[in-house]
Structure 1
Amino acid sequence: MESRVAEFWGAPDLSVQIGGGASERHEAAAPKDDMDWAFGLSTPELRLFTTGLKQRLTPGPAATLGARVRRFFSDLPVAPETDEPSPRLLVGALPFDRNADDCLFLPERAANRIWDMSSTASRPAIRALMPEPSRAAYEAAVTQALEAMRASQGGAEPVDKVVLSRSLKVQGDGAIDPFALWRDLKADPTAARFLTPLGEGAGGAMRRLVGATPELLASKRGPAVFSHPLAGSARRSTDVVQDEAAAQDLLASDKDRREHALVVEAIMDLLAPYCSDLRAPPGPALVSTRTMWHLGTRIEGRLHRPDETSAAELAALLHPTPAVCGSPRDRAAEMIHALEGYDRGFYAGAVGWTNAFGDGAWYISLRCAETCGDQARLYAGAGIVEGSDPAAEADETSGKFQAVLRALGVDEASV
């Protein structure tokens, strides 16, 4: 795919095939320190690979992200023409909690691909799968959420939706290679694969977030802005007839369409003050991954002041959407904190990039795992609205675990 280097290197007068000819000189294995800070984002439209750490963006909360990004690029010196240019873009991850610190950085160099000798290694055997919370505890939390939502309906700020997640701790008999996991997530070509470093974890090992998400939070190219929220899901079947029935049942489901409408309405309301033109189709369409059906709506707009609004600022504005948090956002976040019992970290946050011109793309970090040494933690969630069934919501989260479990070499697991 041909694309302006402005979207990658920050130079508006050249073109490059992203991932195909950006940097043939890095075909050999990069030094370990460079691979510690390797970043990858591969979508049907774009491949972006970088290695090395040149400079960290000062960490901070979502409310200050736009200002911090503008200041970072305004202070960034222009490299001498004789130097090998570094990509003039920030890559990294936003956490779920709007008040927690993000992890964005200026990479050292563009890479032709994420390449490491370990990515050719066989997977370690998985010794244990440990749900946290347990399935029973998760179903109990869904019941509590439904009761709290009903009790809120007579108040000043009723809660219409809350997204409850659970995690699955995975123990390997050796190091879990994040590059091999990245490689094996390629089995779902419709998803956006991502790999991003999060800093050192226990024992000095690098923590990384690796996944294959189906959901675009926000992208910006010039004045054009896009979002493609997904809400309302059903597990796919290997039986063609049952799979089609599941898709049509989802499309006809009043509960799932109400859940989806809450997400679309919230995103449209947030984007409206920034856009001169904003539109979405009247109803959702079916979106499929290898393991799940989703209801999706593509939202498109044109910004009033594109030079003053970056992709990072748009991501911070929208995040977290009702697709991963609930509605209204602050009340739903309070319920999540009270009921889930663990810190989501960067799960249901966002992974992406933005450049000095403000263009970029951010994807919600779903269908993912945080890896560190011989352990990984997988995450999955489900939207809870009136009419939700606790057992069905637990089944949905189990289905969402399967993409990463398969990439880890675990066949269909009941968790």
Structure 2
Amino acid sequence: MTIAPLPTGLGVRTRLVDDPGHLIDLLPDENGLSWVRGSDGLVGWGEVARFSAVGPDRFAEADRWWRSFSGRVDVHDEVGVPGTGPVAFASFTFADSSPGSVLVVPRVLVGRRDGRAWVTEFADGDSATAMRSVTPVRPSGTLRYADGHLPADRYRHAVAEAVRRMRAGELDKVALAHDLLAVAEEPLDARFLLAGLARSYPTCWSYAVDGLVGATPELLIRRTAGTVSSRVLAGTIWPGPGGSDADMAERLLGSAKDRQEHEFAVESLADTLRPLCAELEVPGTPSVIALHNVSHLASDVYGKLPTDNPASLLRIAEAVHPTAAVGGTPRKAAVDLIAELEGMDRGRYAGPVGWVDGDGDGELGIALRCAQLDGRVARLIAGCGVVADSDPDVEVREAAAKMVAVRDALEG
């Protein structure tokens, strides 16, 4: 566990402001934070405090730290909606053993929702709020690609072995991923990737936290005033020659393999969420959402938390992560098989990412369609849900189709 020292006499103020324009355009060239969908969302910069942890208790430890931190801050909130007052951007690793789970509290935050915009600023005693210096966004320039820890050919073998295990009855589903490296001639600008993803995928949540940049269509959990919701995605199809969105939707809804994969994902979320809820609504039939590069089966799940001691966002995330959509089922068998067959550290890919406020409300998506940026190198990861009927060659093509989102945005 790592905790940055806290300033004394810390105060935070949220106030309404005029429309700030495109939120992502406000970000500085280093260490920007983002959770934006369309014209709404949150962006931040500067750093007041940071918490990091590793291990199976990382969500609980982060929750305790956040409650302690937000409870000690002198808050002046003139807006009073979710995402105002003290806010931390969050990003957690997929696996318990991976380092890198983090909460970052920005010194300045700008938010917008439903036509209202606000700014939240931290001040330490009499010191002025940290100012940003916005420099022109740098395109990625020429990129070359290189194999990551698990190249596509080995990924194909991993999928084939997983299929063999499932046909032998060892488990029902596992979500396997592989990585690819994009190397630039100069350090990459996270804003270039983030803005490109936001333009191409306006219905996704475009996020940036501690070097992890992406746009996810999948909402793991939203907590607002005693209610929770989640968007489960599992089952994927991508455009073929001459295929329309309507044709793809019909094929996807008629695919027994994809419907089974989706059912596993919805059931796993409902089973872990139900004990935390007083009421839970689970749809019986999925819909289809069409994105720029792929279409998915989708189900929106809604719940109501008990009035007596409702769980916070981070504790709910602890219970539901990983769902079968990004892990598998049964959960432990799938997670163990992922570690065995992938043989790599996923980092924060497929982990919860988003934000939490001082009331324990917030939004956490699943970190998909993403890259971890480190200087000149971007590490892209994409994966697929694998069931007993999966074809390894098809799964390799699906992962490649999912990587198109980040590759196109990086290349501009």
What TM bracket, shorter-length normalisation? 0.7 to 0.9
Higher helix share: 1
Matched pairs, number: 373
* Contact kept in structure 2, 1:212 and 1:366, CA below 8 Å: yes
* Superposition pairs of residues 385-396 of structure 1, within 5 angstroms: 385-396=387-398
Instruction: Tell me the distance in 2 between the aligned counterparts of 1:118 and 1:399.
Output: 33
Q: For residues 70 and 45 of structure 1, do their structure 2 counterparts lie closer, same or farther at Cα, with a shift above 3 Å needed?
A: farther
* Contact kept in structure 2, 1:39 and 1:196, CA below 8 Å: yes
The alpha-carbon deviation at position 69 of structure 1 amounts to 1.8
* Contact kept in structure 2, 1:90 and 1:107, CA below 8 Å: yes
Question: What is aligned with 1:110?
Answer: 109
* Superposition pairs of residues 12-411 of structure 1, within 5 angstroms: 16=16, 20=19, 36-44=30-38, 46-66=40-60, 68-75=62-69, 76-79=71-74, 87-101=85-99, 102-111=101-110, 117-130=134-147, 132-151=149-168, 153=169, 158-186=170-198, 187-197=200-210, 208-237=211-240, 239=242, 241-305=243-307, 307-409=309-411
* Contact kept in structure 1, 2:90 and 2:356, CA below 8 Å: no
The one-letter code of the counterpart of 1:230 is L
Instruction: Tell me the distance in 2 between the aligned counterparts of 1:10 and 1:224.
Output: 26
The one-letter code of the counterpart of 2:108 is R
DSSP 3-state at the match of 2:260: helix
DSSP 3-state at the match of 1:53: coil
DSSP 3-state at the match of 2:411: coil
Instruction: Tell me the distance in 2 between the aligned counterparts of 1:177 and 1:71.
Output: 31
Among the aligned pairs, what percent are the same residue? 31
Q: For residues 306 and 129 of structure 1, do their structure 2 counterparts lie closer, same or farther at Cα, with a shift above 3 Å needed?
A: farther
The alpha-carbon deviation at position 68 of structure 1 amounts to 3.7
* Contact kept in structure 1, 2:140 and 2:184, CA below 8 Å: no
- The superposition leaves residues 100-159 of structure 1 with CA deviations (integer Å, 9 ceiling, x where unpaired) of 3411122212147998645533331112343542322111111111112223x2xxxx41
TM-score w.r.t. structure 2 length? 0.83
The alpha-carbon deviation at position 38 of structure 1 amounts to 2.0
- The superposition leaves residues 267-307 of structure 1 with CA deviations (integer Å, 9 ceiling, x where unpaired) of 11111111111012211100111101100100000011475
The alpha-carbon deviation at position 237 of structure 1 amounts to 4.5
Instruction: Tell me the distance in 2 between the aligned counterparts of 1:394 and 1:274.
Output: 37
Instruction: Tell me the distance in 2 between the aligned counterparts of 1:212 and 1:80.
Output: 31
Which segment drifts farther, 141-150 or 95-104? 95-104
The one-letter code of the counterpart of 1:165 is A
Instruction: Tell me the distance in 2 between the aligned counterparts of 1:131 and 1:10.
Output: 42
Instruction: Tell me the distance in 2 between the aligned counterparts of 1:366 and 1:376.
Output: 14
The one-letter code of the counterpart of 1:236 is P
* Contact kept in structure 1, 2:148 and 2:379, CA below 8 Å: no
Q: Which runs of 5+ in 1 are unaligned?
A: 1-8, 198-207, 411-415
